[in-house]
Structure 1
Amino acid sequence: MKAVKIIVLACFLSLGLNAIGQSKEAKLKPWVCSNGFWVVETNVKTPLFNKVRFYTNNGLLMEEKEINGARLNVKKRKVKIELKQMLEAVALAWEQQHKSEWVKRY
């Protein structure tokens, strides 16, 4: 009976520690943007030509940019942060443009 209590206690402690670890992990990702997301398209035959598409959270295409002469390694933290900054700028411009269009309609 005592062994069962120890096993149950160990399970609860491991679940609690696991939850704490996940909350810290979410705070450590400075490249995640709440305004939308980006997608990088590249080709094996032309690695120095990249297309970056920026989308809203609803999946609407905001803008598409072409980056020539550089190979983007999206696994690197610096590249992710730069793409996030580009996304925030695109999202702000897109939002202002659509607000002005909405005002013109109504």
Structure 2
Amino acid sequence: MSWLYLAVAILFEIVGTSAMKMSDGMTRAGPAAVVVLCYGVAFVLLAQALRTIEVGIAYAIWSAAGTAAIAAIGVVVFGESLSLLKIAGIALIVAGVASLHAANGAA
């Protein structure tokens, strides 16, 4: 169940971060409310996941998945640039999380 909590927490964090981009510096009430709501839910679910998942593993997965998803959303939704260096950076983040997971004996 903890892994499900973590996955849903990541989804809420991704939606919250996307809404943050749309909030225009938290000056637009609707997107700003979505940011606060989504981050609140995300942190509650992350806290539940941390009951059984090691914090280093959970946070590595949280940050890597969020970073990769937001980078993709930035390109697709917000028209941000994509380069080979950005792709390589995301690949390195994912490789780092995979190595942490493997070193923990979970892979």
The normalised TM-score by structure 1 is 0.32
The answer to which structure, 1 or 2, has the higher relative contact order (CA under 8 A, 6+ apart) is: 2
Structure with the larger helix share: 2
In proportion to residue count, which structure has more strand?
Answer: 1
